[in-house]
Amino acid sequence: MIKATGLVALAIALVPFVNAAAPEWGQCGGIGWTGDTTCVAGTVCTVQNPYYSQCLPGTSVPTTTAPASTSTVPSTTTTSGSSTTTAPAPPASTGFVGVSGQKFTLNGATYPLVGANSYWVGLMGYSTADMNQAFADIAGAGGTTVRTWGFNDVTSANGIYYQLWANGKGTVNTGSTGLENFDNVIAAAKANGIRLIVSLTNNWSDYGGMDVYVSQITGTQNHDYFYTNASVIAAFKSYIQIFVGRYKDEPTILGWELANEPRCRGSTGTSTGTCTTTTITQWASEISAFIKSIDSNHLVGLGDEGFFNDPGNPSYPYQGSEGIDFDANLNISTLDFATAHLYPESWGETSDPVGWGSQWIIDHQTSGQTANKPVILEEFGVTSDQSSTYTTWYDTIISSGLTGDLIWQAGSHFSTGSTPDDGYAIYPDDPVYPIESQHAAAIKARG
């Protein structure tokens, strides 16, 4: 942050006394907002959620249709014959999200991280109008942040994909069914005041992920080669170079995650048997440092489930058997924040899943406090008793001081049908939706 001096400081001091108006796409209201509440001519202050109102073009509440020309992140220029047309840029996301101790920050203030997962928003060929509605539904519940997939590895070109593999070589798709489609995701998030956490590969076979790299390059099913084989690591770095490099100056991205739920074993169930917590910690150190060498603007997280490494513990998620040591990974200097997931019933904790989950939240907050880093519960879910369970877990997040959370997962009802429902999806007409809204307000009220 650069201090204002001399005439600059005087000008800033006089700002409150100037009758100004917020610019197009600028913030104009919301709980706690102390800036301009009027908009420049041709725009209207439109409520996006209780904490965010924005100056949008026109004189009425906008539809879910994306702003003009959202096919790429910057303004685009097309030339035909002797005429040149410059498309208007989408609304600006001002400033990059940072960290200070256990808090996220934005422009000198605490950034309240709360929202949902929407892995599907950029993978299923949705229109820009549908993307806008998806983000608007999350923002409507008070969400500020969405976690989504920045990968889809395929061996046959079909639909939306980001990397095509053939004969051991991956080729990044930068066209309309590839990264240009992800440009649209960013533009839609930006238009709805949402920041994105983007995972760069998957431990599981859904949408390709690690096992595609391994099988294509090594010809084996040994999942843990992803962390140790030099050629596989080089290929992943090549993908990162292109994907992260494309968006390194885009503030709508809150941060990158190395992978979704990295483990020693994946969907193949096969490994060399030599992978340990040290294996993944060393890999995370190398890859996070590589991302930082490309992109100094954005935060980096691991994207793991938050498993602890206490081999004598009777509870499986605490034993370190999957190759994750939460506390060791917290100490990686090039990881800015830590993550935990919460699915007690899937992990065999069936006697008291709600109480076990609350203790899981408290234990991760304790580790975050010791390391003085933000920790987010970035995935959590049950398929029964959702309202009561989530109310309890949300209360524990607030009382423990955990930095933030993202529910698994968001849902929307489009004119063409509803988004995917794996039993966890929360749609705007679900009774959990207002519970999310109340919790988001509580997160924001903490400051």
Q: What sign results for the dihedral spanned by CA atoms 423, 426, 428, 434?
A: positive
Catalytic residue among 257, 261, 322, 378: 261
d(CA 263, CA 265): 5
The total of other beta-carbon atoms located within 10 Å of residue 99's CB is 17
- CA distance to 53, 118, 210, 299, per residue, from 190 (Å): 13, 15, 29, 18
Our CA angle for 371, 317, 278, nearest 5°, is: 60
| Residue 21 one-letter amino acid | A
Question: Catalytic site residue 379?
Answer: yes
Catalytic residue among 257, 378, 379, 436: 379
Cis amide linkage into residue 409, ω under 30° from 0: yes
- CA distance to 189, 289, 405, per residue, from 353 (Å): 34, 37, 18
Question: Catalytic site residue 24?
Answer: no
- Neighbouring residues of 296: CB distance < 8 A, sequence distance ≥ 6: 248
Burial class (CB in 10 A: 0-12, 13-18, 19+), 23: middle
For residue 138, give the nearest of 159, 118, 160 by alpha carbon. Answer: 118
Active site residues: 261, 379
